[in-house]
Amino acid sequence: MILFSEGDSKNEEADSHKVLEILCEVYPGHPWATLVRGGIVQIKHLELGNNWGMVRHFSALKHDATSFKKEIVMAAGEFLERAGLARGRANGDEIVHVEGLPDRYQPIRH
């Protein structure tokens, strides 16, 4: 499984890694990628295979550790539900359709 976190500065890298730790704790087994840059947090599920994911403004998440974790969990959980995946541990289901994603960017069906 691939996991990835990135930021332009040491602080952004640390914040991105914290987001990744939260995702791996609450939604283990999913191939997450996180990025903190320029005041935003991007959360991507690497099985989707393109640049789509969830974006949140970092300033809206940074109030305290509890609300930060809750917002990250909710954003990733929303993505999992839109992708037709169960919240929680990955169970091997594939992403077939992502609600809200334009047809031309939907996963390629084999």
Q: Which residues contact 44 (CB under 8 A, 6 or more apart)?
A: 32, 33, 34, 35, 51, 52, 53, 54
Is 67 in contact with 74 (CB distance < 8 Å)? Answer: no
Q: Which residues contact 70 (CB under 8 A, 6 or more apart)?
A: none
Compute the Cα dihedral for 105, 35, 70, 88 and give only its sign: positive
Each residue's pLDDT tens digit in the chain (110 positions)? 577 788 889 989 999 999 999 999 999 999 999 999 988 999 999 988 767 888 888 777 767 888 889 989 999 999 999 999 999 999 999 999 999 888 888 887 66
Residues 78, 62: Cα–Cα separation, whole Å: 19
pLDDT given at position 110: 60
pLDDT given at position 28: 96
Is 28 in contact with 90 (CB distance < 8 Å)? Answer: yes
Residues 84, 7: Cα–Cα separation, whole Å: 29
